[in-house]
Amino acid sequence: MDVQKIKQRYGIIGNSYNLNRALDVAVQVAPTDLSVLINGESGVGKEVFPKIIHQYSARKHGRYIAVNCGAIPDGTIDSELFGHEKGAFTGALTARKGYFEESDGGTIFLDEIGELPLNTQVRLLRVLEAGEFIKVGSSKVLKTNVRIVAATNIVMENAIKEGKFREDLYYRLSSVPIIIPPLRDRIDDIYLLFRKFATDFADRYRMPPIKLTRESKELLIKYRWPGNIRQLKNITEQISVIEKNREINSETLATYIPYHIGDNLPALVKGDKKHSADFGSEREILYKVLFDMKNDMTDLKKLVLDMLQDDGCSNVKGEQAQIIKKLYDSSDGTVVNTPPVASSAVRPEAAVVSANVAYRDERTNDDPMIQDTEEFVEESLSLVDKEIELIKKALDKHNGKRKYAAKDLGISERTLYRKIKEYNIEG
């Protein structure tokens, strides 16, 4: 079967190798009765593949039923899948056939199979192994000849380790696994999908299709698309309806892509919501304090290295000079542990302000007696003191203009005014 014809029939856009491979496997397995497990993230289009498998199988004239296992409550899912007898439970006024009985001779697609309760998994395993099931409230064993295709967006191996999914059922379902690639692994297909969606929405809403500039096209391709094709389609529809200018630049496109610079920062721990805004601004100042401390440490290392080239430190040479050079070259903020100089790890609680190494000859022969000394001067690391210092520096830099000082500090002018009043800062 020609894969290109299948794409045209089911509206599949893309030419990536992994997508073509998944389609090829679906067509090859369709004539058999093997169970198929489709793996893929949410929004990649898993629901199309069971239809392809059903259509190109000997069961294509039978019934095809799609069931979202995650949308059915635990208390009623057995009744939905296997049926129930009259009076089996409260509200069961009449007997009812389940999906497995209704789809006898056809195909049943179980989406979100990982959400099935464990008791229901036992019933499903019996259907796979023997083609048998029992209605809720009955003792009569019924037969069914149904082909099962399942899909999931979770890692089933992890669900098995956590005891949420039966291992034997997993192996019965995944006789043939099909993996649908996420959109971020189909870079060449992203713009093709965008153009297809843009054209479709232009026809639907009777307006010219939107187009992208070169910069916005690059932004579209570089975005990771966690919601995959579904997210791309939704954003294309939003832009098509809202934007009057039909040529979309990168600035406009960026407003529709849910990406924030703060996503890469440490997460805010849950706490009192009324203080969350103030904590955010104070956290920004804390980051500046830590960055300044790191810069100070770098300057210290450079100063020590410069001492080696100064005439007043000509007595520091040889092995000792190499030790001090290692101190400067270390990029992790740790004094290198090289004998005979004692090592001192730089911790957040203390900072090494100066390290003076003196050497003198106290013996009559040529063997030098080395005396190592390290001077530690404790520096105040109070966050309040650092905040006050940074605020004063910013005010001095901008001649007391709070608007520009607040912008330089990365906080709002209102927050800066509150802190000036709180710390009684003049200026």
Calculate the CA dihedral of residues 115, 116, 119, 123 and round it to 10 degrees. -160
- pLDDT of the chain, 427 residues: tens digit per residue: 678 899 999 999 999 999 999 999 999 999 999 999 999 999 999 999 999 999 999 999 999 999 999 999 988 999 999 999 999 888 889 999 999 999 999 999 999 999 999 999 999 999 999 999 999 999 999 999 999 999 999 999 999 999 999 999 999 999 999 999 999 999 999 999 999 999 999 999 999 999 999 999 999 999 999 999 999 999 999 999 999 999 999 999 999 998 644 343 344 444 444 444 444 456 566 666 676 776 777 777 767 666 655 544 445 555 555 555 555 555 444 444 444 444 444 444 443 334 443 444 444 444 444 444 444 445 555 777 888 888 888 888 888 888 888 888 888 888 888 888 888 887 6
Helices and strands (H, E) in the chain, number of each type: 17, 9
Global pTM reads 0.60
> What's the pLDDT at 284?
61
Q: Going edge to edge, which strands form the sheet with 107-111?
A: 64-68, 107-111, 147-152, 36-39, 176-179
What ranges make up the beta strands (E) of 349-389? none
Domains and CATH numbers, the chain: 3-181 (3.40.50.300), 184-259 (1.10.8.60), 383-423 (1.10.10)
Q: What is the 3-state secondary structure (H, E, C) of 161-178?
A: HCCCCCHHHHHHHCCEEE
Spatial distance between the Cα atoms of 148 and 121, rounded to a whole number of angstroms: 13
Check residue 410 and give left, alpha or beta (phi > 0: left; psi -120 to 50: alpha).
left
> What's the pLDDT at 336?
44
In terms of DSSP H, where are the helices of 48-186? 48-55, 77-82, 99-102, 118-130, 156-161, 167-173
Tokens of 130: 């023997």
> What's the pLDDT at 317?
52
Tokens of 345: 């790890």
> What's the pLDDT at 337?
46
**Beta strands 132-134 and 141-143, pairing class:** antiparallel
Name 98's Cβ contacts closer than 8 Å, sequence gap at least 6.
79, 80, 81, 82, 83, 84, 133, 135
